[in-house]
């Protein structure tokens, strides 16, 4: 007697269904991969478009110092000391108002700047100011000057959304987006310059206190004097070419690169 195997009529249909599901999943994964890749590419392109041009600007930081020296072609140009804190809202306002002009005048050889970062608003903790400064210092230490100034610019221009948002990994990812070297990114991720950032912040606070009796940010000192004391409103109007400046509303600090260049 011959036994004949009877095939389940649903078997071929089940296999076809499984393969169809597999194909759909594969296509979905491919689409997701393309979206993620394009998203990263677009993000990177957008970040690159934000890069600060430091052509014609010399940046020097000796890791034993508390000062970031920013100079142009004229080493003898008038110099100011700029004190800033990444958590200071008024520092962000001053940065937005004056930083582009500062770099232009440095590049033109009209002024030089000693940047003295501070971390006082962290209150002795390892907070936003310290982590942000540590990231900036790591970039400077590896000669990634454009990346450093771009990160600094981003953190001040977007302070409200960036404040306390990033840990060491977040700052490292930002730096990588801005074209930082692998070594600098690793140092940021590892928190290598955290203690150095704390030291700079403390030393620059003490420097102000020893020089003037008190410390704050933002502050611009020229030959030990606050820039606000260097000119009156009439002189400021003449320097800026704006006769409509108001004595109560407009401070020389808000135009400090022009004031410094005019001396």
Over the stretch 167-200, which tens digit does the pLDDT of each residue have?
999 999 999 999 999 999 999 999 999 999 999 9
User: What DSSP letter does each residue of 194-260 carry, written as one string?
Assistant: HHHHHHHHHHHHHHHHHHHS---SSEEEETTEEGGGT--HHHHHHHHT-TT--TTT--GGGGHHHHH
Q: Which residue has the tokens 């109007």?
A: 237
- Is the confidence at residue 42, as pLDDT, over 50? no
Q: Which residue has the tokens 């771009």?
A: 150
* Residues comprising the chain, all counted: 263
Over the stretch 208-240, which tens digit does the pLDDT of each residue have?
999 999 999 999 999 999 999 999 999 999 999
Strand-pair category, 111-118 with 78-85: parallel
Confidence grade of residue 41 (pLDDT, cut at 50, 70, 90): very low
CA dist 136 and 156 (Å) reads: 13
Domain-by-domain residue ranges, the chain?
A: 12-49, 58-262
Over the stretch 65-119, which tens digit does the pLDDT of each residue have?
999 999 999 999 999 999 999 999 999 999 999 999 999 999 999 999 999 999 9
Average of per-residue pLDDT across 120-133? 98
- Is the confidence at residue 205, as pLDDT, over 70? yes
Confidence grade of residue 258 (pLDDT, cut at 50, 70, 90): very high
CATH topology of domain 58-262: Glutaredoxin (3.40.30)
What mean pLDDT, rounded, does the chain reach?
A: 92
Per-residue pLDDT, 106: 99
């Amino acid at each position: 007697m011959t036994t004949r195997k009877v095939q389940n009529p649903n078997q071929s249909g089940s296999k076809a269904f499984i393969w169809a599901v597999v194909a759909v999943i594969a296509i979905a994964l491919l689409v997701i991969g393309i979206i993620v890749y394009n998203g990263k590419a677009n993000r990177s392109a957008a970040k690159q478009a934000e890069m600060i041009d430091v052509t014609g600007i010399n940046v020097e930081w000796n890791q034993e110092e508390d000062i970031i020296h920013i100079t142009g072609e004229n080493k003898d140009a008038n110099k100011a000391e700029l004190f800033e804190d990444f958590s200071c809202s008024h520092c962000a306002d001053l940065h937005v108002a004056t930083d582009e002009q500062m770099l232009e005048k440095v590049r033109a050889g009209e002024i030089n700047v000693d940047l003295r970062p501070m971390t006082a608003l962290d209150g002795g903790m390892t907070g936003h100011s310290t982590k942000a400064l540590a990231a900036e210092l790591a970039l400077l230490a590896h000669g990634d000057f454009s990346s450093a100034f771009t990160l600094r610019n981003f953190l001040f221009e977007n302070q409200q959304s960036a404040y306390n948002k990033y840990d060491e990994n977040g700052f490292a990812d930002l730096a990588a987006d801005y074209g930082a070297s692998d070594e600098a990114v690793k140092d940021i991720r590892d928190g290598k310059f955290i203690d150095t950032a704390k030291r700079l912040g403390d030393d620059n606070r003490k420097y102000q206190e020893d020089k003037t009796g008190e410390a704050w940010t933002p502050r611009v000192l020229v030959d030990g004097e606050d820039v606000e004391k260097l000119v009156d409103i009439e002189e400021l109007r003449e320097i800026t070419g704006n006769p409509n400046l108001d004595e109560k509303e407009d401070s020389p600090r808000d135009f400090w690169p022009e004031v410094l260049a005019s001396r």
